[in-house]
Structure 1
Amino acid sequence: MTSTEVSTLAAKRYAVHPDYRVNVRSGPGTGYSVTRVLPYGATVPINCQRPGEWIAGPYGTTNLWDNIANGEYISDAYVYTGSSGYVAVRCS
């Protein structure tokens, strides 16, 4: 098992807004390719967070992007974290 898989198993899971199927991207912005689409009612781990493109969503406007797996990001504007700031370490 890789260190990324271990951190994913240990990471707290957060709810994605239930009314959206969110695009998962290869980087922190809409200019990055879509790697998959999350289903309605998904929950995701947040392994780390990094700044990127500003996005307006159901949980506000933010430039934070959540790393949910190796090379996979979603905008924090679609994830209910209970905070408008960082809830995980910054991605290196």
Structure 2
Amino acid sequence: MAVDRAEETAADAGEAAVSAEAAVRTYAVAPGVRLNVRSGPGTDYGIVRVLPEGMRVPIFCQSPGTTVSGPYGTSNIWDNIDNGQFVSDAYVQTGSDGYIASRCG
């Protein structure tokens, strides 16, 4: 019977992980933009990858950084889209000029 409980616990954990992933909201990157993803919140950080056009990104937290002008205004807010990966909020359609997620840190 212990095996059955372990299997149930593993199944519950798997379902919780899927639910958490489904609950993550994503935001559209500006149309026609291939967006640089940087290792930190600013243009002085290295580019770790480039997002193709038409991408949507999650925002886990936000940090102040280099001020950038883009399709959605001028902002010093940088969106953390993955571990060690940031994009300028000026290129992400969040519907706000301010913070929409907690500050990173």
* TM-score normalised over the length of structure 2: 0.78
1:35 aligned onto 2:48: yes
The runs of at least 4 aligned residues of structure 1 exceeding 3 Å deviation read none
Structure number with larger C-alpha Rg: 2
1:23 aligned onto 2:59: no
Identity of aligned residues (%): 61
C-alpha displacement at 1:11, in angstroms? 2.4
Between Structure 1 and Structure 2, the one with more helix by share is 2
3-state SS of 1:84 partner = coil
Q: How many residues align?
A: 87
For structure 1, the 5+ residue unaligned runs are: none
| Residue of structure 2 in register with 1:65 after alignment | 78
- Distance in 2 (alpha carbons) for counterparts of 1:84 and 1:30: 19
Letter in 2 for 1:32: Y
| Residue of structure 1 in register with 2:27 after alignment | 14
Letter in 2 for 1:20: V
For structure 2, the 5+ residue unaligned runs are: 1-16
- 2:91 equivalent among 57, 78, 83: 78
